[in-house]
Amino acid sequence: MRLQYINLKMNPVAPTSRSSAAYPRKRAVTACQVCRSRRTKCDQKKPRCSFCEKTGAECVFDPTALSTFDPASLAILDRLEALEQKTDSFQQQQQPVPALVPFPTLNPNNDSSTAYTIAKEPQHPESLLPENLDTVLKWPILQDVNYQMTQSPDIPNPSSDNASPAQPSPDGDELNPKITNAYLDNFFAHVHLKNPVLDEPYIRRLVRKVSLEGPSWDSESCLALLVCANRAITGPLLAPSISAEDLRASPGRRLFTAALKRIGATLGSAGIVQAQCLFFAGKASTGHRGSLNESSGWELGLPDFGTRISLEPPQRFPTLPLTDDEEILRAWYFYLSEIWLWRLETEIRKDMTTRLSELSNNSLSDLADISEIYKQHLVACLHSLPSTVSISDPPCQTPETDVLRFILQGRSIYVNELITWPYIAYAVNDVHLGHTAHGWVSKGLQIHLERLEVNQAGFYHCHHGTWLMIPTSARSACILLAVARSSMRDLLPGGWKEAVEATVKMLEFWQSDVEGLAALASFLRYLLSHVA
């Protein structure tokens, strides 16, 4: 033991820091270039050291001297520099995207005989899949118009912070049990049937409890407020509508604001109630939003069937609830039918994307056969829908008060539009088409007319999809007007002018609530007045 102790005393090991063991220390080089070349001490005064100031020499300190950095720091700096170069090159490749749709710059002095002249040279369309309203308004055939587009500067933007003043918390009258009972009846009659994700007896007990005790700051109170708020947005299709301004000042808006203050409680935990809160908060927000410039709303694409991003439908169908209640079963049949149509649309879109990438630029004849197959699949799907939500009858025979059929018709119309869009895109670009393709152009135009006729039931009805229905209807009107200005105007279906006129009136009805609609309505009215 003594020998071992002596050995330890005679061979001490000094503690070594991790950094000093990893990186050899180097003397910092901070002298200016002149002093370094003279091998003299530099006092490092800035901006000039004493020697350079005395001699009048140019005092330069090497900014790239990195000897004071360890190897790991140098490696990090190299990586950061490489990332910076990649970011700069990426930004240079990005093309600036205009924030607003550049409406045609037009000449009011020309006579109307040239109002629907089109490009002399046919132009192949850039996309053969459905495009949004902004892109359709940029079509060349709609640019050669003798009209000066102006937009009123005082049109309010309902989605802006200034347009929606802070709402007070709900008072006792808005949560009165008698009032909340009416809220619940309206909610389960006109909102819940579209998305039957709540247990009605439980929700009625919950809302009654919140109305008696007052809302707390938990997820259950948030859900109760959202249920009452959603009831204020919609009603029967033929019920008198209220303006967006009245909607923002309504009790439903105040209830929605109170619910949003409690939405944070849903983010701290996971559960069914929390998921329901987030869902109905998003559903209510679509009803309170009214800006046509908020393109992200329909690019994300909940009910706007023409501009939705490619989302995947559920892989399996949900199981029907064990109940004999006809209304509950009908709501679930609607839910399953919508998933079915969604699946069909997704499969057609994927297949069309693959086939169109291989399509010849000169002909659509290769696509005609597969388009017929798509159409047959859609017809078979529609005939397979349960009788309680069937839309196989012509639109004129479908009750206008049936909101479930109204929604399914919208989805069916979009699938038809998807199938016929390539032919419409070629028609508005004045590309020569064969006899078969002409037939598909006629079918496509009939689909756009059908959309306007079906949507008329909701033109003046404020509901969850109002602000998303507006651009879809306006787009179909633009397409009909574009074909009217082309060499294929003879293919337009009867009654198209009346449908476009009704759409323009709808845009004028909402123009005080939605920014940009006044200019759009004026533009479409001018086009309509200058077609043969």
The model's pLDDT over 101-122, given as tens digits with 9 standing for 90+, comes to: 333 333 333 333 333 343 445 5
Question: What tokens were used for 360?
Answer: 């010849």
Contact criterion met (CB below 8 Å) for 341 and 412: yes
The domain defined by 14-70 folds into CD2-Gal4 (4.10.240)
Tell which wins on pLDDT, 9 or 481.
Answer: 481
Give the per-residue pLDDT at 131: 87
Contact criterion met (CB below 8 Å) for 510 and 244: yes
In terms of Cα–Cα distance, which of 302, 308, 215 is closest to 262?
215
Cis? peptide before 47, omega within 30° of 0: yes
58-74 per-position pLDDT tens digit: 888 765 554 555 667 76
Residue with token string 């901070």: 30
471-520 per-position pLDDT tens digit: 999 999 999 999 998 888 899 999 999 999 999 999 988 887 777 888 89
| Highest mean pLDDT (candidates 26-35, 189-198, 493-502) | 493-502
Tell whether the model's pLDDT for residue 389 goes beyond 80.
yes
| Highest mean pLDDT (candidates 135-149, 178-192, 226-240) | 178-192
Q: How many CA atoms lie within 13 Å of 509's alpha carbon, on the beta-carbon side?
A: 18
Question: 54's torsion region: left (phi>0), alpha (psi -120 to 50) or beta?
Answer: alpha
Contact criterion met (CB below 8 Å) for 506 and 473: yes
Give the per-residue pLDDT at 163: 42
Residue 62 CA to residue 520 CA, distance in Å, equals 61
Give the per-residue pLDDT at 111: 39
300-355 per-position pLDDT tens digit: 233 344 444 456 666 666 677 777 778 878 888 888 888 888 889 888 988 888 88
Q: Letter for the amino acid at 305?
A: F
> CB under 8 Å to 500, separation ≥6 — which residues?
452, 477, 480, 481, 524, 528
pTM (global) more than 0.75: no
In terms of Cα–Cα distance, which of 199, 196, 189 is closest to 234?
189
Give the per-residue pLDDT at 447: 95
Mean pLDDT of 272-286: 85
Residue 408 CA to residue 382 CA, distance in Å, equals 10
DSSP string, 489-524: GGGPPTTHHHHHHHHHHHHHHHTTTSTTHHHHHHHH
Q: How many CA atoms lie within 13 Å of 526's alpha carbon, on the beta-carbon side?
A: 22
Give the per-residue pLDDT at 202: 93
Give the per-residue pLDDT at 503: 95
Q: What stretches of 323-402 show up as alpha helix (H) in DSSP?
A: 326-357, 365-383
Q: What angle do CA 233, 466, 457 make, to 5 degrees?
A: 100
Residue 183 CA to residue 201 CA, distance in Å, equals 14
Tell which wins on pLDDT, 432 or 137.
Answer: 137
Mean pLDDT of 239-249: 58
Tell which wins on pLDDT, 11 or 162.
Answer: 11
390-437 per-position pLDDT tens digit: 887 654 445 456 788 888 888 999 999 999 998 998 888 877 777 888
Residues of the chain above pLDDT 70, percent: 66
Classify residue 233 by its DSSP letter.
Answer: T
Tell which wins on pLDDT, 249 or 526.
Answer: 526
Mean pLDDT of 125-139: 82
Say what the alpha-carbon torsion angle 45, 48, 54, 57 is, to the nearest 10 degrees: 140
Say what the alpha-carbon torsion angle 211, 214, 220, 222 is, to the nearest 10 degrees: 100
Give the per-residue pLDDT at 60: 83
Contact criterion met (CB below 8 Å) for 521 and 511: yes
In terms of Cα–Cα distance, which of 423, 443, 421, 419 is closest to 433?
423
Residue 61 CA to residue 221 CA, distance in Å, equals 66
> Where are the chain's structural domains?
14-70, 129-157+399-529, 177-290
In terms of Cα–Cα distance, which of 293, 23, 41 is closest to 155?
293
Find the radius of gyration of the CA atoms of the chain: 33
